[in-house]
Structure 1
Amino acid sequence: MYSKFENSKGVPDFLAYELGEKKYKYCLCIPIINEGDRIIRQLERAMQNGIQEKVDIIICDGDSTDGSTATDRLEALGVNTLLVKKGPGKQGAQLRMGFWYALERGYEGIITIDGNNKDSIQSVPLFVEKLDEGYDFIQGSRFIKGGKAENTPWIRHFAVKLLHSPIISLTAMHCFTDTTNAFRAYSKKYLTHPEVQPFRDIFVTYELLAYLSVKASQLSLRVTEVPVERKYPASGKTPTKISFFRGNSNLMKILLLNLFRKYNP
């Protein structure tokens, strides 16, 4: 059985399949669309590391058609809830859907991670620890002590180091080292702060990630980084939803709009 959520301001219409009761203080939201075997392998790694015994796992699906989100399979892999976006928008809309649902369900903090099996999902307890310590924004980084970057395409490495991280750090007025990384966590206090307002339709693609990377430190909330690992395939196609020319030009536009605080309420 599922619940239908419609006409919530700033949140796309979606379906919620609750595969279990709310168990934990925090949840792990994983935005996906047609990730196929990658999300299955990632959830298997999560189970091997007992992540489903530390946080509730919520899949934030963009309405996949590849069969990877069959509820019986997800339930067997420790998933607590499947959300299926039916309204417009891409990753930003999926995150708004997940955040809104998680806050309505009463979670005190939300961890996010990509669903393409590149990230060290076993690092989730580090984010839980920092949320428990009272941090409001926790950024995962492969570039700090204890982190690890493996097979990162050279153009991505230098884009993060020389362009993305410096611009985000300048905007945030705080030094962050791995700002394209969606492995991060947010406190309820941060997401519900009256000067944040994440539930707005302007957040369609990657705008929300950029905005939430900088707003916490601008508001003098507590921010930090934790070490994580990100491993790209040694060969074959790089798992990404960002096209080389159009996608990266859009990212640059988002960075500049964010720099000039155009996403502020």
Structure 2
Amino acid sequence: MILYERQEGVPQFRCEAYQEKKTKYCVLIPVINEGERILRELKRAVHYRVSYAADIILCDGGSTDGSTCADVLRNLGVNSLLVKQDSGKQGAQLRMGIWWALRRGYEGIITIDGNNKDSIEDIPRFIECLEDGYDFVQGSRFLKGGHAINTPPLRLLSVRLLHAPIISLTAGRWFTDTTNAYRAYSRKYLEHDQVQPLRDIFITYELLAYLSVRAVQLGMKVCEIPVTRRYPKEGKTPTKISFVRGNWELMKILFLNLFGQYNP
């Protein structure tokens, strides 16, 4: 285990590397107390041999539910576990993962939620796009070949009528599924001097909104590909965004992004 001290733009975190770097690309999965959801997702990754295409890295925000037990993760093909020891939420977890992945020498990064909603078996499609020279690849359940299954009606309306139009206006290019964290970034994009994702202003969902638009603004190569996002038929919707406060904060982020407040 290695402890990395806090530095500018990167929170303090510890790393448990179960394997050496094995592939050209990695998958960053931010998690916090996802319980059986992340375990089911990793079991699907084993079934589809995802770890043969990309190293799987968990970016843990400090889980206490036992779902990140080292023996379990090793058996499920996880390459490394990063555990944040600092403040911040999803944005801090992603900054931790991005810094570590670039330092380890990966040529591109795929991100996916850890709540078992997304088609992790589609990882090779993202890699194909990175290999073809794309710098930002957005997964979309709304493209032909994609699937939006059991999407809560209010969530569907907010994506289609608010989030996607505002992100698309900011980027100057139409995107269909902008709340979807299932996407890929090239090393070239993340290291561009006019991007600079490793900044402490990215605490919650700011980094996802910002990286959705910055590639287009800089004239980089972008695309969308079809994926599946499946919500459970019954029970609580797996999300970390609260209905009132969370959505208000998200709207504020969208408008700050629209007016360039996150640009370096």
**Stretches of 4+ aligned residues off by more than 2 angstroms:** none
1:196 correspondence with 2:195: yes
Match of 2:148? 149
Q: Percent identity?
A: 66
Match of 1:28? 27
**Aligned equivalents of 2:209, 2:10: Cα separation in 1:** 18
**Aligned equivalents of 1:203, 1:3: Cα separation in 2:** 24
Shift of 1:240: 0.4
Can you list the C-alpha shifts for 1:181-230, whole angstroms capped at 9, x where unaligned? Answer: 00000000000000001111100000000000000000000000010000
Q: How does 1:119-130 map to 2 (within 5 A)?
A: 119-130=118-129
Matched residue SS, 1:79: coil
Can you list the C-alpha shifts for 1:9-36, whole angstroms capped at 9, x where unaligned? Answer: 1000000000001000000000000000
**Aligned equivalents of 2:257, 2:185: Cα separation in 1:** 19
User: Which one-letter code corresponds to 1:69 in the other structure?
Assistant: T
Match of 1:53? 52
**Aligned equivalents of 2:7, 2:55: Cα separation in 1:** 23
Match of 2:256? 257
Matched residue SS, 2:83: strand
Match of 1:186? 185
Match of 1:107? 106
Matched residue SS, 1:60: strand
**Aligned equivalents of 1:28, 1:198: Cα separation in 2:** 17
Can you list the C-alpha shifts for 1:109-149, whole angstroms capped at 9, x where unaligned? Answer: 00000000000000101000000000000000000011000
- The TM-score, its normalising length taken from structure 2, stands at 1.00
Match of 2:240? 241
**Aligned equivalents of 2:209, 2:119: Cα separation in 1:** 21
**Aligned equivalents of 1:18, 1:141: Cα separation in 2:** 31
Where do 5+ consecutive residues of structure 1 fail to align? none
**Aligned equivalents of 2:35, 2:132: Cα separation in 1:** 36
Q: CA RMSD in A?
A: 0.4
Number of equivalenced pairs: 264
CA contact (8 A) 2:6 2:13 kept: no
**Aligned equivalents of 2:179, 2:120: Cα separation in 1:** 17
Match of 2:158? 159
**Aligned equivalents of 2:197, 2:127: Cα separation in 1:** 22
Match of 2:116? 117
Where do 5+ consecutive residues of structure 2 fail to align? none
CA contact (8 A) 2:41 2:116 kept: yes
User: Which one-letter code corresponds to 2:79 in the other structure?
Assistant: N
1:228 correspondence with 2:227: yes
**Aligned equivalents of 1:176, 1:92: Cα separation in 2:** 21
CA contact (8 A) 2:50 2:123 kept: yes
